[in-house]
Amino acid sequence: MRVLIFSGSREIVHVMVPPIGEAYLAAHLLHIGHEVKFIDLTLSNDYKKEVSKAINDFNPHIIGISIRNVDSTTYPGNLFFYLPVRNIINFVKEIAEPQIPIVLGGAGFSIFSEEILKDLNHRLGVVGDGEYVFAEILKKIKNNEDPRTVSKGVCYLDSNGDYHQKPPWRVENLDDLPIPIRELMDNDLYLIDPLNSSGPVWGNIQTKRGCPMNCIYCSYRYIEGSNVRYRSPENIADELDLIVNNYGIKNVFIVDSIFNLDYDHVKETCQEIIDHKLNVKWGANYVPSMKFLDLLPLMKESGAVHFATGIESLSEEMLKNMNKSRTPDEALLTSRRCADLEIEQLIHIIVGGPGETLKTVRASFDRLESIESFKGNLWQGDGDVIIFVGMRIYPHTPLQLIAEQDGVIQKGDNLLRPKFYVSPKIKEIDLFQVVREYGEGNPRWMVPGLGFNNPEGFAELSQIQFAKYQS
């Protein structure tokens, strides 16, 4: 069958993100014999023209549209990415033949599947891992059967507009999935710095799915499940070999929610990269941890140059409130070791969560000022700390329940349009003033929600691009 896949997300916030989820889906469908065309609409200046041409030329039997993020997760300044995606979906429904099924999916959709289906009055979507579910949907359509009868992974509205969702379909052996065929993507267009058209490009890779953590605000556990499924180190190195040597991509980001979950897996993966003699520079989402300190030199040897480090807070009280099982000292030691090894960091900090007071904010910031960091200028530009004010409230998270109990939201509130938790113990204006006070004294602390200390062109690019894609 002919399958047309659109990456519906339009945002460019700091980096151009290669749509890796859609690439894995497309590779699996190609592997089992389907014809696939994939278009990343982030790269399009005229999505209506590109969508129309793709549908007319390819004449698909089915269309998939992926939604990655619904907003920028920043407060009080926020970009609501769902609006441009909504326009794309409605346009596709308008011009496609009515008999062509349109299936929605992606991480953002998985979180808000009920809200989005009802908002669009749309019938069918996929929640969680999409590869096997989409393949089963194609079988149902080919056999003239109702795709809503797929046993796992589908969600839908019935004739009365009521929402139904099957249990997610988790791919247990990730090595069974084929490596993405990156010819489907315009690899040369994914720039680390979107404002520098002659700068380096980057790719991304996933080494595992699932997250066992239960941080109060995070949606990864719902999207991917709590059971961690690892790719083998050999399989990971094989894909990196293709990325580097077949596609010429020398900079790669590991998109796992947390790279350093399992000591042996990290150690063996880095050793495989070294054994393959890959000329690659890689980055990853990283959490400070004492038990991984001795592996940092091996990570550096394998090509590690950048960590997006989830410190979140340097207040012991706030780490406990966020359900983080680590100490501020682990963050300080990790940062010092990274600086020694010349591994740059983009440190993530959140202020305003449950139990936050001005005292805990200042305590966290005072420690943050003492953190050592290495400025490598490959991934994040001029900043090495990014501060998020308030916590984006996602459904299916402990924070949703806390926010209801504290009266920040009401039970049953639609959270698709962003709502943020700021501790009732703080007046927002006082929190903003403290953040600005410290931020103005630390020019490498980026605060996108308050619009200052952002990399050159960051805010302008986001606002111009977002306004442009509203139509």
Q: How confident is the model at residue 199 (pLDDT cuts 50, 70, 90)?
A: confident
DSSP assignment string, 357-382? -HHHHHHHHHHHTT-------SSSTT
Task: Determine the average pLDDT of the residues in 186-201.
Answer: 79
> Domain for residue 9, yes or no?
yes
For the chain, what's the residue count? 471
Per-residue exposure over 159-198, b if at least 16 CB sit within 10 Å of its own CB, e if not: eeeeeeebebbbbeebeebbbbebebbebeebbbbbeeee
> Domain for residue 82, yes or no?
yes
Q: Which of 447, 365, 459, 469 is nearest to 76 (CA)?
A: 447
Percent of the chain whose pLDDT exceeds 90: 82
- Do 153 and 200 share a domain, yes or no? no
Separation of alpha carbons 136 and 386, rounded Å: 41
pLDDT at 458: 47
Residue 303 host element (H or E)? none
Rounded to two decimals, what is the model's pTM?
A: 0.93
Counting the structural domains of the chain, the total is 2
pLDDT at 359: 98
Q: Long-range contacts made by residues 48-52, C-beta under 8 angstroms, separation at least 24? A: 48/91, 51/6, 51/88, 51/91, 51/92, 51/95, 52/95
- How high does pLDDT run on average in the chain? 92
- Do 225 and 141 share a domain, yes or no? no
Residue 465 has pLDDT above 60, yes or no: no
- Do 161 and 227 share a domain, yes or no? no
Domain holding 6: CATH number? 3.40.50.280
Task: Determine the average pLDDT of the residues in 222-232.
Answer: 98
- Do 267 and 317 share a domain, yes or no? yes
Each residue's pLDDT tens digit, 253-311:
999 999 999 999 999 999 999 999 999 999 999 999 999 999 999 999 999 999 999 99
Encoded tokens for 211:
């997250």
pLDDT at 377: 52
Range of the domain at 322: 196-455
Q: How confident is the model at residue 467 (pLDDT cuts 50, 70, 90)?
A: very low
DSSP assignment string, 378-433? SSSTT-SEEEEESEE--TTSHHHHHHHHTTSS-TT---SS--EE--TTS-HHHHHH
Residue 468 has pLDDT above 50, yes or no: no
- Do 102 and 216 share a domain, yes or no? no
Place of tokens 């269309």: 63
Task: Determine the average pLDDT of the residues in 90-95.
Answer: 97
Encoded tokens for 121:
């009055």
Separation of alpha carbons 30 and 465, rounded Å: 33
- Do 224 and 364 share a domain, yes or no? yes
pLDDT at 365: 97
pLDDT at 150: 98
Place of tokens 């592997």: 31
Domain holding 351: CATH number? 3.80.30.20
